[in-house]
C-alpha cells in the first residue's frame, strides 16, 4: 500500500464529514427520522404514503445542494469514468443490496455506527470489505 | 415544519458530500483501492460524521420525543441475520464497481451528470426488484429498515 498524498484532503474530508453528521443530528433530534439515503429513496418507491413527503423534501435538498455548493465555493460536476454497462450493474447491485441489507453508507455507516448498532457495525464492515475486494478484482486482477 | 427540516437536512447532507469529496466517484474508488495509490480521505469523512453523530444519537437514545415534541423512533433490531449480511455484501460489490452509493448518486444527478442519472435509475430498479421479491416472500425477507 502506498498513500496517495497528492489526493489526500484531510481538512475537507473531516469538515464535510462533520456537516453530514450535523445533518443526521438535525433529522433525528428535530424530526425523529434516521438519515439513511437508501431507506429514503426506497421509501418513496415503496414505503407508506404518509412518509413520502418528508423523504421527497430531503431528496429535493440533495438535488439542489450542488447548485448551492457551486455558489458557495465553485464546486463543479465530478467526472464519472465508469463504462455504461458497469454503471448499470453497479446501480442494480447498490439498490438491491441496500434494501436487502436495510441500509447504505449513510444509514448504516453514519447513523447506525453512531448509535453503536451491532447490525450497522457488521453491515459497514461487510460492505467496506466487499467494496475493497470488488475494486481489487476490477482494477488489479481483470484490468 | 417536517418538510422544512427535511429540505434543510438534504441541503446540508449534500453540501457535506460535495465538500468532503464523497460526491466524486474517482475519490471513493481511490479510497477503496488499498492495493494501489490509496487515498485515506474517506476514512476521515466517516470519522467526522460519526464524531458528530455519536453525540446526537447518544442523546436521541435517551429521549422518547424529538426536540420539537414529535415521535422519535430508533431501530430496535439487533440481530445480525442473513439478509443483512448478503445485502451488505451485494451493496459493497456495487459500490466498489462505480464508487457511487445512494446519496452521492442523487447529488451527482443534481450536478446534471448523465452517468449519475443512469446509476440512480438502475438503483431504483434494484430497489423495486427487492420490494417485488419481498412482497412475494413475506416470511423470507422483511421490509424492516435500520435506515
pLDDT tens digits for A49-91? 999 999 999 999 999 999 999 999 999 999 999 999 999 999 9
Whether residue A88 lies inside any domain: the answer is yes
Find residues 90-119 of chain A whose CB sits inside 8 Å of chain B. Answer: 90-115, 117-119
Cβ proximity of A103 and B146 under 8 Å:
yes
Give the C-alpha separation, A135 to A112, whole Å.
Answer: 24
pLDDT digits (tens, 9 = 90+) for B7-37: 999 999 999 999 999 999 999 999 999 999 9
Neighbours of A62 (CB within 10 A): 30
Q: Is the ipTM of this complex over 0.85?
A: yes
Question: Do residue B108 and residue A75 have CB atoms under 8 angstroms apart?
Answer: no
Range of the structural domain that residue B116 is part of: 2-136
Whether residue B35 lies inside any domain: the answer is yes
Is the CB of A82 inside 8 Å of chain B's CB atoms? yes
Whether residue A98 lies inside any domain: the answer is yes
Rounded to whole angstroms, what are the CA distances from B116 to A30, A138, B19? 30, 20, 18
Cβ proximity of B146 and A36 under 8 Å:
yes
Cβ proximity of A104 and A33 under 8 Å:
no
Give the C-alpha separation, A34 to A28, whole Å.
Answer: 6
Range of the structural domain that residue A92 is part of: 13-75+82-142
Whether residue A7 lies inside any domain: the answer is no
Residue of A nearest to B72 (CA): A32
**What's the predicted TM-score (pTM) here?**
0.95
- Residues of B whose CB is below 8 A from A108: 88, 146-147
Closest CA to A125 of B30, B84, B21, B120: B84
User: What's the total number of domains in chain A?
Assistant: 1
Residue of B nearest to A110 (CA): B50
Whether residue A5 lies inside any domain: the answer is no
Neighbours of B62 (CB within 10 A): 7
Whether residue B145 lies inside any domain: the answer is no
Q: Which of B98, B108, B131 sits opposite A90 (nearest CB)?
A: B98
Give the C-alpha separation, A5 to A107, whole Å.
Answer: 29
Would you give the distance in Å from CA B130 to the centre of its chain?
17
Whether residue A30 lies inside any domain: the answer is yes
Whether residue A4 lies inside any domain: the answer is no
Amino acid at each position: 500500500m502506498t498513500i496517495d498524498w497528492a489526493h489526500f484532503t484531510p481538512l475537507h474530508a473531516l469538515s464535510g464529514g462533520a456537516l453530514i453528521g450535523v445533518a443526521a443530528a438535525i433529522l433525528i433530534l428535530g424530526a425523529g427520522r434516521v438519515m439513511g439515503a437508501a431507506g429514503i429513496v426506497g421509501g418513496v418507491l415503496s414505503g407508506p404514503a404518509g412518509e413520502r413527503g418528508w423523504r421527497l423534501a430531503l431528496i429535493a435538498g440533495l438535488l439542489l445542494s450542488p447548485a448551492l455548493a457551486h455558489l458557495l465555493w465553485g464546486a463543479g460536476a465530478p467526472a464519472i469514468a465508469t463504462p455504461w454497462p458497469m454503471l448499470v450493474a453497479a446501480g442494480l447491485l447498490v439498490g438491491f443490496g441496500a434494501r436487502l441489507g436495510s441500509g447504505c453508507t449513510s444509514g448504516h455507516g453514519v447513523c447506525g455506527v453512531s448509535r453503536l448498532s451491532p447490525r450497522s457495525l457488521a453491515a459497514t464492515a461487510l460492505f467496506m470489505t466487499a467494496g475493497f475486494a470488488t475494486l481489487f478484482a476490477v482494477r488489479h486482477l481483470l484490468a | 415544519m417536517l418538510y422544512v427540516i427535511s429540505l434543510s437536512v438534504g441541503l446540508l447532507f449534500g453540501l457535506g458530500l460535495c465538500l468532503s469529496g464523497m460526491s466524486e466517484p474517482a475519490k471513493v474508488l481511490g479510497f477503496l483501492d488499498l492495493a494501489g495509490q490509496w487515498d485515506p480521505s474517506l476514512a476521515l469523512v466517516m470519522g467526522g460524521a460519526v464524531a458528530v453523530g455519536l453525540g446526537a444519537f447518544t442523546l436521541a437514545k435517551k429521549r422518547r420525543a424529538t426536540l420539537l415534541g414529535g415521535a422519535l423512533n430508533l431501530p430496535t433490531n439487533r440481530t445480525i441475520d442473513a439478509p443483512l449480511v448478503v445485502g451488505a455484501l451485494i451493496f459493497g460489490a456495487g459500490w466498489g464497481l462505480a464508487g457511487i452509493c445512494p446519496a452521492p448518486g442523487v447529488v451527482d444527478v443534481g450536478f446534471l451528470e448523465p452517468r449519475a442519472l443512469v446509476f440512480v435509475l438502475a438503483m431504483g430498479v434494484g430497489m423495486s426488484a427487492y420490494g417485488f421479491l419481498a412482497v412475494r416472500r413475506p416470511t423470507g425477507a422483511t421490509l424492516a429498515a435500520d435506515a
